[in-house]
Amino acid sequence: MTGPASEPAPQGGPLPGPDGLPRCPWGLSAEEYVAYHDNEWGRPVRGDDALFERLCLEAFQSGLSWLTILRRREGFRAAFEGFRIAAVAEFTEQDVERLLTDTRIIRNRAKIEAAVGNARVAAGWPEGELDRLIWSYAPDAEGREAPRGLGDVPATTPESKALAKELKKRGFRFVGPTTAYALMQACGLVNDHLADCTARSRGRV
């Protein structure tokens, strides 16, 4: 699976953090992960531009460590105009070439062109449509059992497969089922903090 929950870590339950409280093992595997795990991952993200940013970053992460993306996130935001859909949709071929020389980001032509193309698609939608579309695939929280260990966390779900299919149908690229599920995890559509993790109660459920 993509996203931080796929980082190499024990497959068991939570581990004690610096304050002694239990956390998902991946949340302790690097210094930058502690704050991200505690304060961002799994909390609801709303708004077209905010979700577009997360979708782009998950796509750039494909095949790489999430830590690589997290350490470059501010560089990505600067290079992509804060991931404002209207701004990225106006990027030209010259902008793509510029980004291919920008050492603050992952310089992958296919992913850069997908981000620009996806922005152009979303720019043609009514305001709030990307938010509505993505959140319409959030599963019923009551029907999901909390994972006990990282081995219980899926790589894809029926909902992530359906979301990826719909986004592709509408013209999006680099949005496979695993990327879609990583987005769902990161943005609070699902709560995949482990059952005894101290951050679980801060999520959507």
Q: Is 125 a catalytic residue?
A: no
Active-site option among 26, 36, 137, 181? 36
The number of helices, as runs of H, and strands, as runs of E, in the chain is 9, 2
| 36 classed as catalytic | yes
Instruction: Give the dihedral of Cα atoms 177, 77, 96, 166; nearest 10 deg.
Output: 20
The answer to whether 135 is a known catalytic residue is: no
Task: List alpha helices for 100-157, DSSP H.
Answer: 109-123, 129-135
Please list, in sequence order, all residues whose beta carbon lies within 8 angstroms of the beta carbon of residue 125, skipping any fewer than 6 positions away. none
d(CA 190, CA 139): 7
- Among the listed residues 67, 76, 62, the one whose alpha carbon sits nearest the alpha carbon of residue 181: 62
CA-CA distance, 150 to 122, in Å (whole number)? 34
Query: Could you say which of 26, 41, 53, 58 is catalytic?
Result: 58
Given 41, 66, 137, 181, the catalytic residue? 66
Residue of 135, 124, 109 lying closest to 54 (CA atoms): 135
CA dihedral (78, 80, 82, 88) in degrees, to 10, reads 150
The token pair at 153 is 């966390």
Name the residues annotated as catalytic.
36, 58, 66
